[in-house]
């Protein structure tokens, strides 16, 4: 029986690929045979991840990209096609936000968080799906958040943006699955990535307190999310599209 998790010969584009969940996903997909295009605003973390991928024997390309700019999203796809001649997997992992009370948000802050977490998925997916449709096959994996499923006043804008990602995942799946492109999302719980740890330090919250809110009693590891990405990116999920998988360590004492 062939290995349905094998990605040999496929090319994956991963936004936010230099750190955190994006880095974890990039390494997992490379371990399974994918060549990887890493996109993000900071070149140094991208290059470090690229070096790790090359040690695994896979090709890695870094493309400095601000995913809030649709023109740069277009350029990312164009560069991928010019270099590899194909695009099989898109992982929309770039994201993040500050936490603050609802009335403290400025208009510019609101628009930036929506652009980073939702608009980037909209613009980049619409561009990336075109070569996938031409190939007759592809997979888009959107990184959402458990915040999208909860009422979280301190993260209201971020949660709303990620809820929009969940919804548009279904819409894109309905539009594109019949053309060979599956679209799924992963609602991620608390993961030991710099974005969360830095934010917790800023607001004075012990990470162990957050870890004990789930049944596993710990924070997740970015590569654990990477394996969920692998499932959706590979043929192992060939009959799965339009779904949001909640990966959060299990329901805690409150059943959440």
One of 5, 123, 158, 232 is an active-site residue; which one? 158
Tokens (6 digits) for 91? 């992982």
H or E stretch including 167? helix 156-176
Cα-to-chain-centroid distance, residue 87: 16
Q: Which residues of 222-247 are buried (b: 16+ CB within 10 A; e: fewer)?
A: bbbbbbbbbbbbbeebeeebbbbbbb
Q: How many CB atoms lie within 10 A of CB 6?
A: 14
Is position 158 annotated as part of the catalytic site?
A: yes
**Residue 187, C-beta contacts closer than 8 angstroms, at least 6 positions apart:** 144, 145, 146, 148, 149, 162, 166, 244, 245, 246, 247, 248
Report how far residue 165's alpha carbon sits from residue 163's, in angstroms, rounded to the nearest whole number: 5
Report how far residue 68's alpha carbon sits from residue 12's, in angstroms, rounded to the nearest whole number: 20
Catalytic residues: 158
């Amino acid at each position: 029986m062939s290995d349905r998790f094998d990605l040999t010969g496929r090319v994956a584009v991963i936004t936010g690929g230099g750190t955190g969940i994006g880095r974890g996903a990039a390494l997992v997909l490379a371990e399974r045979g994918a060549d990887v295009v890493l996109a993000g605003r900071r070149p140094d973390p991208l290059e470090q991840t690229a070096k790790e991928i090359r040690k695994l024997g896979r090709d890695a390309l870094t493309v400095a990209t601000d995913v809030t700019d649709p023109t740069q999203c277009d350029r990312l796809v164009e560069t991928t096609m010019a270099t590899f001649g194909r695009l099989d997997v898109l992982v929309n992992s770039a994201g993040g936000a500050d936490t603050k009370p609802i009335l403290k948000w400025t208009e510019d802050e609101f628009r930036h968080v929506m652009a980073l977490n939702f608009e980037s998925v909209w613009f980049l997916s619409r561009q990336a799906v075109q070569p996938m449709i031409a190939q007759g096959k592809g997979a888009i994996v959107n990184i959402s958040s458990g915040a999208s499923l909860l009422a979280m006043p301190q993260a209201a804008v971020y949660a709303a943006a990620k809820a929009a990602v969940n919804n548009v995942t279904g819409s894109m799946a309905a539009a594109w699955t019949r053309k060979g492109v599956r679209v799924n999302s992963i609602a991620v719980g608390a993961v030991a990535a710099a974005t969360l740890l830095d934010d917790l330090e800023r607001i004075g919250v012990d990470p162990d307190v957050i870890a004990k809110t789930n049944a596993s009693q710990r924070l997740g590891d970015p590569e654990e999310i990477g394996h969920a990405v692998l499932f959706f990116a590979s043929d192992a999920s060939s009959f799965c599209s339009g779904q949001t998988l909640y990966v959060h360590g299990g329901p805690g004492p409150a059943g959440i």
